A and B are shown apart, each in its own frame.
Chain A
Amino acid sequence: MSDELEKLFKDMAQSIIDGDSDISVELAQKSIEMGVPPLDAITKGFVIGVNYIGDQFGAGEAFLPELVMAGEAMKAAVATLEPELLKLGEAREIMGRVVLATVEGDIHEIGKTLVGTMLSASGFEVVDLGVDQPADKIIGKALEINANLIGMSALLTTTMVRQREVIEELDKEGLRPRIKVMVGGAPITRDWATKIKADGTSEDAVGAVVLAKQLMGKE
């Protein structure tokens, strides 16, 4: 590997560690101009930074905002490289496809949004439908993108019952276990997840990534 290429990969990793989307995008563009294979830019450059921050977080060194900023810098870099990948007919290896939503009647989404950022940073393809989403919209989108996972959040005890409706609907249409379901939100307990036959729940975003990987049989 040339010194120049080595430096580029190192800078790419650093841009993720610094959580700097401007620089990660700039480096992604530079790699295209240099003719670096986009998959190399991802796996030899940017992903190294993601892994580093992940390890730091695991060791109790990094804080959540660093993880989020790294995730966003990664997302921006990958988005820049995506057209190149398409041109070459290549695809980044993804961990799985996920549809995220806050259920109908509920507008509280910060936790869910955070889960989305973490999942994308960890190599999942995420479609976040936002808030107040009825069952048919969630299931429809899951079918449309051939999702492996659905993640639903709710903050109110009066809306968490909607999580069960989505699961019942999926069961009725015979879409499980093909599509796995994760539920979350402040009032969601392990007991609730078991009761409504969800495939799992997590109390924070990092735990949600671990769960998603487990459900995909990746860890």
Chain B
Amino acid sequence: MSHKKIKTISDPKLKLEVLTEQEVKKIHDATLHIIENVGVRFPSKRALEIWESVGANVDHEKRIVRVKPHVIEEALKKCPPAYALAARDPQQDLPLDGNHVCLGTDGCGVEVIDIHTKEKRTSCLQDVRDIARVADATEEVAFHWVPVSAQDAPVEARGLHELKAVWENSTKHVQTESIYNVEEAKASMEMAMLLAGGKEELRKRPVLSLMQCTAPPLGHDGGSLDAALIAAEHGVPTGFMTMASCMTTGPATMAGTLAVGNAEVIAATTLLQIAYPGAPVFYAAAQTSSDPRTGVYTGGGPEDFLFGAATNVLADFYNIPLSMGSFATGAKEPNWQAGLEGSLSTFMASVVMSDMLLGCGFLHGSRIWSYAEMMMDCEVFSIIEKMMHGIVVDEETLALEAIAAVGPGGHYLAQKHTRNHMRELFMPQFLDRRPYSTWEDKGDDARDWALEKARKILKNHQPDPLEEKISKEFERIIKSVEKK
């Protein structure tokens, strides 16, 4: 049952100081200033009522809320600092405790590079099933997002069809970003309770978590807020993700964009804590810089990489777990840019120990799913996982005996010490270390091998099935939401 194992980054040796304590404090103060003076838009009747109940200044016409710093700071103290994301298979529960970096897929893509034809096409429900099944088999993918939109499923219950598809094809935790209205949120909680075995069981073992996008600058979507409140009520972990971008939805400067995004996230997190004190929450972010020439979303670049490291420092300051955008390159196909952006974004977010990483498997800024990219992203994650352990220096690893035995000249290939430690060296699946002539003769590369691996998994991997009774109940719940 090798697929049950999940590879996470833990006990890191590498460290990086991207922001000093003083700088974090400055960003925090700026954030409180923004929330108190500029305000944040909360276009939800329920949210505005909650804000009014704690004496916030509510502009009903513009639906902008201004809040005193102490209200925010008091509420944030109620956030649980650590909890676990539960999986259908309890062996695969993920501790969000500051000492684990867990990789997830991403969403929500609209196209897929077909695993068989290699042609790009519109995503559908079967893709959600297939991707979940392949992700289930990998050690690196620790949890799912709904990766692509099931565009052949009815709009009003699409998010539920997607959840069912993932749960039926994997035993790992599911985090969805595709539930953003009251009806679907309620139905998804019903589904999660069924899977967990009841209301209290779900609270103890949240098999589902919800991610809601903010609407930068300094705004939220009404449906998302209402859905998040329903999740918080059920003890289902909920996070707000800012994607504020330098120059367009955030100031051109990185510090300013951090402050704007931070205001969105912590204001909404406060809302949840006021309504349901102690509800499990997480910080989520995928800030970027817009392209200076065209203003478009970039999906990578030095600013993204720095945001990746800086945001966890903020989440740590508030003592809540972070879900950070990594991978999800802006490249159009698995290529140099994809490798560069995937590696640096993931390294920077990992070295600071972001609890959850997103983005595995995506091209063109989370719009196009590629199985080859997914497999290669997994390898990048494995490389970073290896690097994070750093270099062990002790008597055994200094290898003085072996060094003396070999002496000047000679080699270490026949040493017992070598045999004892050689499997600690990283064994890549997709790095091309063949002789030049082999490469020349075969003309293939990592992309071919990665795709082949995904094809094999899809053909052979059988995830532990979901009880048929539960599937049937899921169907009933979904039907009740679908338009007659």
Contact = CB atoms under 8 A, between A and B. Distances in A.
Interface of A: 57, 60, 63-65, 107-108, 110, 114, 156-158, 161, 186-187, 189, 191-192, 203-206
B96 to A, nearest CB: 28
Contacts of A192: 110, 122
Contact of A187 (B222, B290, B291, B367): B367
Contact of B155 (A65, A161, A186): A161
Nearest to B216: A110
Interface band, chain B: 20 to 34
Given A107-B215, A161-B155, A63 B293 contact: yes
B110 A187 contact: yes
13 contacts: A63-B292, A63-B293, A64-B295, A65-B252, A110-B248, A110-B249, A156-B180, A158-B159, A161-B155, A186-B365, A187-B367, A191-B121, A204-B295
Interface of B: 43, 108, 110-111, 121-122, 149, 151, 155, 158-159, 180, 215, 219, 221-222, 247-249, 252, 290-297, 365, 367
Nearest to B107: A157
- Per CB-CB distance, the 3 closest pairs between chain A and chain B, nearest first, are A157-B149, A64-B295, A187-B110
A205 B248 CA distance: 13
A187 B159 CA distance: 16
A168 B367 CA distance: 26
Given A65-B247, A161-B155, A107 B221 contact: yes
A195 to B, nearest CB: 8
Nearest to A191: B122
A60 B293 contact: yes
Per DSSP, chain A at the interface is loop
A156 B178 CA distance: 9
A186 B297 contact: yes
A9 B459 CA distance: 70
B149 A187 contact: yes
A203 B296 CA distance: 8
B110 A205 contact: no
A149 to B, nearest CB: 21
Contacts of B222: 107
Given A110-B249, A158-B158, A189-B111, A64 B293 contact: yes
A172 B182 CA distance: 33
A191 B368 CA distance: 13
Given A187-B110, A187-B149, A64 B290 contact: yes
B329 to A, nearest CB: 15
B146 to A, nearest CB: 11
Contacts of B291: 64
B177 to A, nearest CB: 11
Given A110-B249, A157-B151, A204 B221 contact: no
Contacts of A204: 294-296
B338 to A, nearest CB: 19
A107 B43 contact: yes
Contacts of A187: 110, 149, 367
Given A114-B248, A158-B158, 10 more contacts: A63-B293, A64-B290, A64-B294, A65-B247, A65-B252, A65-B292, A158-B149, A186-B297, A191-B122, A192-B110
